Amino acid sequence: MSQNKAPFSHPGSRGITIAWALSAVVLLPLLGPWLAGRSLQPYLEFPPLSTGKVTHARFSWPLFISLTVVIVGLLSPCIVRVLRTNLRNLAANPSARTAHATVYQRPVVRRRFPWWGWLATGWTLCVWVLAWTRFDWMEAWQPHTFTPLWLGYIMVMNALTYRSAGHCLVINRPRYLLSLFPLSACFWWLFEYLNRFVQNWYYADAGTLTPWEYVLRATLPFATVLPAVLSTAEWLTAYPRLSAGLDAFVRIDVAGRRLWGWWLLSVASAGLFGIGLWPDYLFPLVWVAPLFVITALQLMHGESTIFSETACGDWRTLWVVALAALLCGWFWEMWNFYSLAHWEYAVPYVQGFTLFQMPLLGYAGYLPFGLECLAVADLCLARKFSGGVAYYRALEPGTDFAQRKPTVAER
């Protein structure tokens, strides 16, 4: 993300990586049950009538505590770094309005909230009310509130970004934003496929739908995932305090990229192979294995990855995108809780404590999911995500983004 060039240096490289990544994610999970002599029909049927509430391993205090310690241990260094940097900046300059503002080499210029943002806010609030109520006249449309709700959310995030930074995807990069919708639908369908093997979530009354009804009802909301996460991430980049200090953090400069790529690909492939055989133990790999596959293939091809900036200690883009997915995750779970068409969870070992329908520790899965959203968008689209740190480095100090015309590559 630290360079503005295309993520792939020669034609066809991106297509090869996409083809190999898809092959690994689709075929390896089937290989395990097939070699074990199991029927593959439950994993391939459509609609997934066999996917429902299943009996997983019961709640385990030792595993719950162990996972909590691991999650806190992984996140603590970044959290402590951000807090200490903000406190140090505040102590050095108590009157500073924006700590660590030099991260983006430009002052924050706030504008009035745009009229279309108010319209989107009103729309979102109205659809929210309709999603959580059961009016008789709304009965036919009640199961279809998820997509309009998230379209409103995406527009609100873009309006907030415009107010804070003077630019947003809707205004400055509409083609990029629109391209995220079909990509997002395909992206989440892959996770629905992987869920066939672990069965950690299921949809209420999904078994009553015909195949075409299922495709339509599912694809439309699936298409909002990437636009929501990346629109939120772009908004969060307008607040340097959220990633203060992460521009000079731990350096991870990988030597022997091809060797590391093979090693990472082996780990990811083993995990994908095993999720159908030992779902109660390997279900977390659903959220990280595809990311490992993409990163491994990029390393093997000598291409940049979403982790490339960590070579110079810059973790800001990764941190902001992970936080964006966590924020979206909160709204996903909250809005799902009282909606008529909703999903429920059946997660082994950690189902004892829930926030809305989601097991409490399950929210940690949104953090790597955000990285996955970024990796897939950068891999599959010729244009990189512009909300990251690198985009702001192209600006001269004091430049007003709203007055700067986007290049062809950025559109």
- The pLDDT tens digits for 330-352 are 999 999 999 998 999 999 999 98
Whether 35 contacts 276, CB under 8 Å: no
* Angstrom distance (rounded) from CA 122 to CA 298: 43
User: Could you read off the pLDDT of 91-127 as tens digits, one per residue?
Assistant: 887 765 544 444 444 445 568 999 999 999 999 999 9
Q: What would the DSSP string read from start to end of 264-286? A: HHHHHHHHHHHTTTSHHHHGGGG
Helix 225-236 with 316-337: angle, nearest 10 deg: 130
Closest to 367 measured CA to CA, from 1, 71, 2: 71
pLDDT of residue 385: 77
Separation of alpha carbons 188 and 223, rounded Å: 8
**Would you say residue 292 has pLDDT above 70?**
yes
pLDDT in tens, 351-362: 989 999 999 999
For residues 151 and 205, what is the distance between their CA atoms, to the nearest angstrom? 24
Q: Give the 3-state secondary structure of residue 191.
A: helix
Quick one: pLDDT at residue 255? 73
The pTM score is 0.90
Question: Crossing angle of helices 174-198/225-236, nearest 10°?
Answer: 120
Q: Which of 138-142, 181-185, 391-395 has the lowest mean pLDDT?
A: 391-395
Distance CA(312)–CA(321), nearest Å, equals 18
Amino acid symbol at 150: W
Structure confidence at residue 356 (pLDDT)? 95
In tens, the pLDDT along 362-376 reads 999 999 999 999 999
Measuring CA to CA, how many Å separate 195 from each of 124, 188, 276, 290? Answer: 29, 11, 10, 13
Contact 19, 173 (CB under 8 A): no
- pLDDT value at 274 more than 90: yes
- What value does the mean pLDDT of the chain take? 86
pLDDT at 393: 44
Q: What is the mean pLDDT of residues 184-195?
A: 96
pLDDT at 295 over 90: yes
Q: What is the DSSP string of 142-168?
A: GGG-HHHHHHHHHHHHHHHHHHHHS--
How far apart CA 384 and CA 374 sit, in angstroms, is 9
User: Of 2-16, 116-130, 205-219, 384-398, which gets the smallest average pLDDT?
Assistant: 384-398
User: In the predicted model, what is the mean pLDDT of residues 62-81?
Assistant: 96
**H-helix segments, 223-353:** 225-236, 257-274, 279-282, 289-300, 316-337
